Amino acid sequence: MKVGAENKKQVRFMIVLLAILALIAIYNFKDTIWGSSAAAPPSATAQQKTAPGGLPVQDSSDPRLRTDILDNSRKVKYEAGNRNPFALAIEVKPPDFPVRPIGPTPSPTPTPTPPPPRIPIKYYGFASKPGEPKKVFLKPEDKEQEYIVAQGEIVERRYRLVQIQPTSVTMEDVLTGNRQPIQVEPPPQPGGR
């Protein structure tokens, strides 16, 4: 059989793969082919461990079934006595650190709401003409301009005059809905007195 040039590369590649496969197979099965000391039974000189009660403990590296342990466990006689299987056999000691009590947590005390801000308007008095509604003289605290306002009108685009009385007026902050009475003050004296 004649092999072409391109087939020669494939044949060489296949031979390399078969050689690698043979090496892997030999490595995996070397214990069964040549024998190994790992599968040999444990020596008689090895010390056996014993569990409480005198039962021998099997070495975990030996995979063989130990029938002598099974026979010893069958010889143990279980007797009903004063033993309660549901009783807690562990002594529980209190913790060394402070423990938070379990139960309903106390409701947090509500923080008092702060009082609404004071309306910065001064009331100086009122003027009334027969047949016209009452009007009052108001002045913002931070400005020099004075307003003559009737009931229901708004000052400084924020404060509405709600009610007029002889010694006070009730103003409402239209942004917060806060209403405050403002007492009458004497008008400012010219000359600073």
Q: Where are the domains of the chain?
A: 121-183
What H or E segment, with its residue span, contains residue 12? Answer: helix 5-28
* The model's pTM: 0.40
What confidence score (pLDDT) does residue 76 get?
A: 76
Chain centre distance of CA 167 = 58
Rounded Cα distance between 170 and 182, Å, is 6
What confidence score (pLDDT) does residue 35 get?
A: 62
What confidence score (pLDDT) does residue 77 get?
A: 74
CB distance 170 to 110 below 8 Å? no
CB distance 183 to 121 below 8 Å? no
Per-residue pLDDT of the chain in tens (193 residues, 90 and over written 9) = 555 656 888 889 999 999 999 999 988 887 776 665 554 555 444 455 665 555 556 556 777 888 888 888 888 776 766 666 677 667 778 888 887 777 787 788 888 888 888 899 888 888 888 888 889 988 898 888 888 999 999 999 999 999 988 888 999 999 989 999 998 877 666 665 4
Q: Measured between alpha carbons, how far apart are the two ends of the chain, in Å?
A: 132
Q: What are 141's two structure tokens? A: 């605290």
**How distant, in Å, are the alpha carbons of 7, 26, 33, 40 from that of 23?**
24, 5, 13, 25
Question: Helical H runs in 51-135?
Answer: 67-75
What confidence score (pLDDT) does residue 16 get?
A: 95
Buried b (16+ CB within 10 A) or exposed e, 99-137: eeeeeeeeeeeeeeeeeeeebebbbeebeeeeeeeebbb
Domain covering 121-183, topology:
SH3 type barrels. (2.30.30)
